[in-house]
Amino acid sequence: MIIRRYIISEITKPAANILLLMVAIFASYTAIVYLTDAVGGLMTPAQVGILIGLRVGMALEILLPVTLYLSVMIALGRLYKDSEMTALAACGLGTGGVVLPVLMLSLPVALIAGGASLYIRSAAYTQIYKLRAQARADFSIGQLESQRFLEIADGRYTFFSEKIDQDRKVAYKVFLREKKDDAWAVIQAQEMTDGGRNNLGYPVLTLRNGHLVEFPSSGKGTSIIRFEKAHYPIQSDAGKSGRYRRKAATTAHLLQSDSLEDVAELQWRLSTPLSTLLLALLGVPLSRTNPRRGKYAKLGTALIIFAVYYQLFTIAKTNVENGNVDPLIGIWWVPALLLALTLAMLRKTGSLRP
């Protein structure tokens, strides 16, 4: 019992540092993505901070399994390096006795990672889409910069202005393009100002001295309208994409759905706790090394295995969505491969024997 607690404590020591490092890296990467929108005026700093927090919470479904996986390898690798595993084997523990404390530690971590995947994931996506839709709905002249293109509403609208008067909130020599279902609308105007909101809550732009060109994708039936003053609403159609609804859907909804996309999403979420357990157990044989090689000897191999594993997960999920794989098989063949690899390595190193 004392030895089990010792092994668990050795594994948890590097876990906090690894998790903090990966959270910092992930948050920094996310901040770079969203700060671009903040600089362009599409989002406020408060909205960016909330989005970063939501992304980090959602990423726990991957960060926690990776943290435990690397912590097991580093901790047990140190025990091999310092010949403590040899001493434990001399006391009758054996490498097989390491599997049980690793499994005991990985169970609560798997539950937390599973909770992040089953519940936090959908809640985070729901809030992310709401914030981004709100940012698009709050479009104003202040978001534009002179001599720079600005895309909003997932590329539906493209703006360009040669000169911006930020004090008066007026844009001069404006180019505006809207992508519709089967047509395009292009507007050139000498002046553009904010025109408030219409009865549907959409922001309205007031355009002066320009012309509107509308043409279908086929190129036939083009129309040109000249105007002295026109009011143009900026409509937000966030949430129409099935991808958005699927990621933001609750697990209870996915359980009742027969859609292949929903089945793939549900299996992805359910696989998280299983992946956490398998990766932790795989860390036991991967940590075994010669004391002269050091505790990081097989870290590169471990990272390659992890990268291939999650790449196969992505491929399997796509195949289920496209109907190329039976939903009963689904993505489960990927953790089955990892289980086979784990058992083979545990057997080879003698870790299955007490």
CA distance 254 to 271: 14
- Asked if the model's pLDDT at residue 150 lies above 90, the reply is no
Q: How far is CA 13 from the centre of its chain?
A: 27
pLDDT grade, residue 245 (50/70/90)? Answer: low
pLDDT at 294: 60
Query: Lowest-confidence range among 78-92, 196-210, 279-293, 318-332?
Result: 78-92
With CA atoms as reference, report the closest residue to 238 among 61, 42, 59: 42
Same domain, 158 and 224: yes
Same domain, 258 and 130: yes
Measure the N-to-C terminal CA separation of the chain; round to a whole number of Å. Answer: 15
* Cβ–Cβ under 8 Å, residues 45 and 256: no
Same domain, 245 and 345: yes
3-state secondary structure 14-62: HHHHHHHHHHHHHHHHHHHHHHHHHHCCCCCHHHHHHHHHHHHHHHHHH
Whole-number percent of the chain with pLDDT over 90: 27
Tell me, yes or no, if the pTM score tops 0.85.
no
Residue 224 domain flag: yes
Residue 248 corresponds to which tokens in the numbers above?
């933001």
Domain edge (last residue) among 233, 261, 293: 233
Tally of structural domains, the chain = 2
Same domain, 178 and 36: no
Residue 354 domain flag: no
pLDDT at 239: 40
Same domain, 201 and 309: no
The better pLDDT of the pair 34, 175 is held by 175
List phi, psi (to 5°) of 42: -75, -25
Q: pLDDT by residue (tens digit) across 98-118?
A: 888 888 899 999 999 999 999
Domain of 264 in residue numbering reads as 2-136+241-349
Q: pLDDT by residue (tens digit) across 319-337?
A: 998 989 888 898 999 999 9
